[in-house]
A and B are shown apart, each in its own frame.
Chain A
Amino acid sequence: MNEVDPILLSVFARAFKSLTDEMSISLQKTTRSPILCEAKDFVTGIYDARGDMLEQTENLPILSFSLGPVCKYIIDYFGDDIHPGDILFHNDVFSMGNQNNDVAVYKPIFREDTLVAWSACKGHQADIGGAVAGGYNPNATEVWQEALRIPPVKVYDRGKLRKDVWDLIFANIRFDIVQQDMRAQIGSCIVGERRMLHLLEKYGRECFETHKRALFASTRRMMEAEIGTIPNGEYRGEATVYYDGKNRGKQYKIRVKIAVEDKHITFDYSDTDAQSDAFVNGTYTSSASAAVLTFLQMVNPDIPHNQGMVEPIEIIIPQGTILNAAYPAATTYGNHLCPPNADAIARALAPAIPDRVTAGWNHLLCSLTTGRDPRKDDKYVDICFMGLKGGSGALRGVDGYDHIGMIDASGGLLDQDYEMFEQQTPHVLIRHEYLCDSAGPGRWRGGLGVETIFGIGADNTQLVIFGDGDVEPAFGLHGGGSGSLNAIKLRYPDGKEHTPLSLDLITGVHKGTVYHQLAGGGGGYGNPKDRPAELVADDVRNGVVSAQAAREAYGVALNERTREVDHDATSRLREENGRGSKSA
């Protein structure tokens, strides 16, 4: 059947989505590293025989838009040396990978000896070799200090495990669970393959190809229609990167020029500063993913995620800039240039589409602890996801989302369950709660940040810290205020306090040390004096806005005893300061 059946088109779109969802469930249920099974720091997808994206399940979008380009790279690399039963690994950032720790598995899908599609998934591995357990070596200056490079390699050849290759890879990786988690990724690809073959069996290759092309075209039209709603023009925005892990005080500017021309949008980063000589560098695919995922939040969220969606989007990032570092730069931090990148895009587009651009999101500031758990005499590694999740920026009509975390995950990254955290690490959780007055005030307030405190439960613990948001808070928009800053502090058993840098490696931390982290709130939108006083009173009653902030930032006075709004005093306060949106 060569004709497109509009109904069958819907059938294929749904089937692809449920296929990648199913792969995602399989991976989450079987992996061991909490980074994967608790936080869901992975993505699953299917691609056609050319490597064009058919659909993805993007738990962590920053990983997502590198799977397709790597698939194409693998197809080029191996040429006709791809066979049924092959399974490949890849992580290399200089062949379209996005981050060293994000290791992908690819499985070609054959039907009657013809390559018809690929199933693939990529997850952030607990370790990938290099100088520091868990990655994120802030002292790295070139890639070999960061990770084992895996350009594409077959670990299964025509269905047979290449034991020598497998052992070579895992001889260079610290934790055994990484082997098992890669097995789980292979399992997920097999689950995807089963479903894809079932679909092809049912509809036939030709029908699939015809409808795939039609689906790409339909999705492309959807995206073009969305771009068409943005006024034509050129929009510029910039953001600052405050530290590179090596050169104190050195700053870098991310500069984006966004050109909208009818149905086409270009993100041009040509004016961005040159790359660093440390590990704060992006790769092309991580930076391009950042642009795509930020833009996707400004358009219809129901657009299917396939090749057609990305076709009208052009992204120019010259090599040698901090967003696309040249070989052999260290780049492990690259995914986390997404928050400032997103800020630059938001600042550029906020005047053009004020109803769709949020105020600034809280940036990531993250810690990773590793060591030996004395209770089990066994190694452990933990990324403190619960601690890093601050608030999102507010939008016209909607408050920011509390404790959602960085924009590159947008609420797809989950907290560890507290009791599982205490089972899997030697630490004891002391506090994990919303942080009062963290949200940027506004007619719509920013999302709340959180405060996290835990007691470190093992001697000789190693702490890796990476992120930012400790210098510049999430910005407000259209009269809204900014959110609070990020901060991490250690209190040692002897009572001394230490404030690590935003990129830092601290070794030999003793048991009894108290870890204390603040993740800031998101920026507010619109004048806070226009926020209904009752909503402010609710926030005060719930202890997430202080009475003082209610008065000073929002111009809302509360009766001290009842905590009800004091309307007279509020009117006076709000008149004194002038009602922003009308006077501004």
Chain B
Amino acid sequence: MSLKVGIDVGGTFTDFLVTQPGDEPRIYKVLSTPADPSVGLVNGLEEIAASMNLSLSALARSIETIVHGTTVTTNAVLTHTGAKTGLLTTHGVRDALEMRRGIREEQYNNRYTNVAPLVPRYLRMPIRGRLNYHGDVLQPLKLDDIRQALQLFKDEQVEAVAICFMNSFANAEHEQQAAELVRSEMPDAYLTVSADFLPSIRFYDRVSSTVLNSYVGPKLSSCVDRLQSRLKEIAFGGVLLIMQSNGGVMSPQVAHASPARTLLSGPAAGPEAGLGYVRVHGHESCITVDMGGTSFDAALVRDGTPSVVTEGEINRHRIALPMLDIVTIGAGGGSIGWIDEGGLLRLGPQSAGADPGPACYGKGGTLPTCTDADLVLGYLDPDFFAGGKIKLDQQAAVDAITQHIARPLGLPLEEAAAGMYRVISTNMAQGVREISIKRGNDPREVPMVAAGGAGPLHACMICQELDIPLFIVPRESSIFCAAGMLMSDLRHDFVSSFVSVFDDLDWPRLQTLISETIQEGTALLTQESIPEQRRRFSLILDCRYVKQYHEVSLPVALDTIHAADASTIAAAFHVEHKRMYGYSLEEEGAPIELINVRLRATGLTEKPAYAEEPYAGRDAGDALKGERRAYVPEDRASRFVSVYDGHKTRHGNHIAGPALIEQVNTTLLLTASYDCLCDSYGSFVVYRKGHEDRLSAPLQEMLT
């Protein structure tokens, strides 16, 4: 056997997806063990082994690859429990980290306080020595300042050190001298050097990212070490890969050096997963949405590539590493409904969480949540929530909505619940707008992939709001990210500053820089045992009109660089600028300049091969469970609708909305405007009535 296992360690559950060639994928969920996540992970493997009638070590030996997603670094930053970190920085600018350029995100809120810095001021040590904007030495480095700082760090039992000097993106010499001293004086400290980690211009971005890397370094290292040793104990001999925020995976060695690359990796496997589900229907672009208990993640994949941004934030700390462009908003099953001072109905961002949870959980919650509304509207079966593991209290949901929403708004119960359902769907549609329209992309042109426990209940409404005619609910919807991890490639991002006007480009120097970076990427991929034919390199140039401050990231073919073809790049730049910002300066012949060179080295991994189901005919009668009253938004009223067992539907089955399709961990609501077809991989392809032409040809054929 050659198994692949995707393991997504979340706050509450650890999700597993196990695949083997030619077999149906298996889904497992076990409780997470936050104190040492590797315990929960091994518990899960034991459960898997038992269900497959194997010993743990027999299972371990048959696993070829484990891809592991972790939130240990994210949680360390959110809860301020990372390593005690010291910063060596240029004399005179040690407060940049804490000032965050002087922003207060909520301008009219005088009770909004700054976020505590990850390194307190007394551990941010000023070091004399200065480079100018070009990297020339204005003042030599004072090694004594460093020695004194390190003495303080030792006295204070500092565990991690970050080094970030002014203008080091142009000359790394001073930082390297400092690093040598740190390595010899504090050999056990985790060290990040900004010029190695992120050699690009913008001091605040660099110092913040460098500090984040050191702050989470010791935590991630020990987590990975523990995991490796546990896997070794159970005789696992395959490849272990770690999920990154850029949607790719990396080896444990690379993770040790760049732990900050896991900081926003939680939802990062989603877009790749989504792509897998639409690709089988001939699409290379999609929107993915993942709605859980408290949050909703939305992302866009264009032309086979998830969108990437380089200016992320975690807990208001800047992190300038490439990461997937994922918008997270506070909208989930637990989102609480309330009436604001102006009498408007709102949902979230406050969430009832898992404890006390929605009123209908009967665990003491009295506030009306999205899940309560879903129950009142008949979308959830009180006796079949989580496959019947949790009994839902209908009366509690009714009481909560009546008291807090229906009565204050003067609406009947059902309309109040329908209002809640509508408002949260609108909020989520807003999240989808952020990643599509706001970036200049029309969401109507691409299919949506709806995942997460609560996502499929709301997908029709989100799509109606945005006029999206087609969406897919994957069979693995409830463990979407674990599935995506198995679809991810090894991915390493490099960035270098290269400031030059296009007309004066020193092409040989640029070509050398790029080929050197490719070599660097090659070395990493070699270390990760990726053979030559599975290596890919892609280039992005950050360009702007001269004197602009912000860049447009432009994908450029390596051949264009070899050919030193500036005009092709310029033409593409004008087009992209106009698309994004409403105008271009092509006619004026405005000069363009290059700022950063970004190279991505990709190592293609072996993807799991899912077996296709044979065509089983159009009739879904075998999966029909019965009927129940449910609210149909188009009718603004409830009526009896068919309920199907989503585990019994087969390839080719057609279900007309309105209908409900229930699985153990999720329910799909088809409103009256949508119909659904089951594809050969067990996923539900949902389309707006009258838009059958948006289906792929084989699916259209099944309809005729």
Contact = CB atoms under 8 A, between A and B. Distances in A.
A188 interface: yes
Interface stretch (B107-115, B258-266, B515-523, B657-665): B107-115
Contact of A184 (B93, B99, B130, B581): B581
B673 to A, nearest CB: 15
A432 B549 contact: no
Contacts of B580: 26, 29
Interface in B444-494: 465, 467
Contacts of B419: 6-7
A386 B92 CA distance: 13
Interface stretch (B20-28, B276-284, B335-343): B335-343
B145 to A, nearest CB: 15
A219 to B, nearest CB: 6
Interface stretch (A9-17, A134-142, A259-267, A331-339): A9-17
Contacts of B105: 411
B167 interface: yes
B92 A432 contact: yes
Interface stretch (A66-74, A235-243, A395-403, A528-536): A395-403
B585 interface: yes
Interface stretch (A31-39, A274-282, A322-330): A31-39
Interface string B115-137: 00000111000000010110000
B346 A297 contact: no
A29 to B, nearest CB: 4
A398 B111 contact: yes
Interface string B66-89: 000000000000000000000000
A495 to B, nearest CB: 20
Nearest to B99: A403
B101 A219 contact: no
B109 A301 contact: yes
Contacts of B256: none
A429 B122 contact: no
Nearest to A454: B92
Interface range on chain A (Cβ under 8 Å from partner)? 35 or more
A334 B548 CA distance: 29
A440 interface: no
Given A29-B581, A32-B548, A180-B585, A395 B111 contact: yes
Interface stretch (B246-254, B358-366, B395-403, B421-429): B421-429
Interface stretch (B36-44, B175-183, B196-204, B556-564): B196-204
A11 B167 CA distance: 46
A358 B93 contact: no
B320 to A, nearest CB: 11
B409 interface: yes
Nearest to A175: B547
B94 interface: yes
Interface in B330-375: 340-346
Interface string B569-605: 0000000010011110100001000000000000000
B94 A61 contact: no
B95 interface: yes
A108 to B, nearest CB: 16
Contacts of B215: none
Nearest to B437: A195
Given A6-B409, A58-B107, A543-B122, A180 B423 contact: no
A430 interface: yes
B201 A226 contact: no
B438 interface: yes
Contact of B548 (A31, A194, A297, A405): A31
Contacts of A429: 92-93, 166
Contacts of A82: none
B108 A296 contact: yes
Contacts of A543: 121-122
A474 to B, nearest CB: 14
A11 B426 contact: yes
A259 B132 CA distance: 56
B325 interface: no
A279 B374 CA distance: 62
Contacts of A434: 95, 98-99, 121
Interface in A395-417: 395, 397-399, 401-405, 409-415, 417
Contacts of B205: 417
Contacts of A18: 430, 433-434, 438
A453 interface: yes
Contacts of A302: 340
B691 interface: no
B35 interface: no
B102 interface: yes
A29 B110 contact: no
Given A14-B430, A430-B92, A423 B201 contact: yes
B93 A433 contact: yes
A314 interface: no
B93 A420 contact: no
A222 B112 CA distance: 21
Interface in B121-169: 121-122, 130, 132-133, 138, 166-167, 169
Interface range on chain B (Cβ under 8 Å from partner)? 35 or more
A331 B251 CA distance: 62
B106 interface: yes
Contacts of B202: 417, 419-420
A254 B89 CA distance: 45
Given A191-B581, A222-B341, A397 B111 contact: yes
Contact of A7 (B98, B122, B345, B581): B345
Contact of B104 (A34, A300, A358, A410): A410
B103 interface: yes
A415 B101 contact: yes
A218 B343 contact: yes
A26 B579 CA distance: 11
A147 to B, nearest CB: 22
B540 interface: no
Contact of A419 (B98, B122, B201, B422): B201
A386 B204 CA distance: 13
B509 interface: no
B344 A6 contact: yes
Contact of A6 (B130, B345, B467): B345
B545 interface: yes
A411 B133 CA distance: 28
Given A221-B342, A302-B340, A389-B102, A297 B549 contact: no
B550 interface: yes
B110 A398 contact: yes
B297 to A, nearest CB: 18
B699 interface: no
Given A183-B583, A543-B121, 6 more contacts: A26-B580, A218-B344, A297-B110, A401-B113, A419-B169, A434-B98
23 contacts: A6-B344, A6-B345, A6-B419, A18-B434, A22-B437, A28-B550, A177-B547, A180-B590, A296-B108, A304-B342, A358-B110, A398-B113, A401-B104, A405-B102, A412-B103, A415-B102, A415-B204, A419-B203, A428-B130, A432-B93, A433-B93, A450-B99, A541-B122
In the A-B complex, the 7 residue pairs with the closest CB atoms: A411-B104, A190-B582, A187-B582, A542-B121, A431-B92, A222-B342, A218-B342
Interface of A: 6-7, 9-11, 13-15, 18, 21-22, 25-26, 28-32, 34, 37-38, 58, 61, 177, 180, 183-184, 186-191, 194-195, 198, 202, 218-219, 221-222, 225-226, 293, 296-297, 300-304, 356, 358, 385-386, 389, 392, 395, 397-399, 401-405, 409-415, 417-420, 422-423, 428-434, 450, 453, 541-544
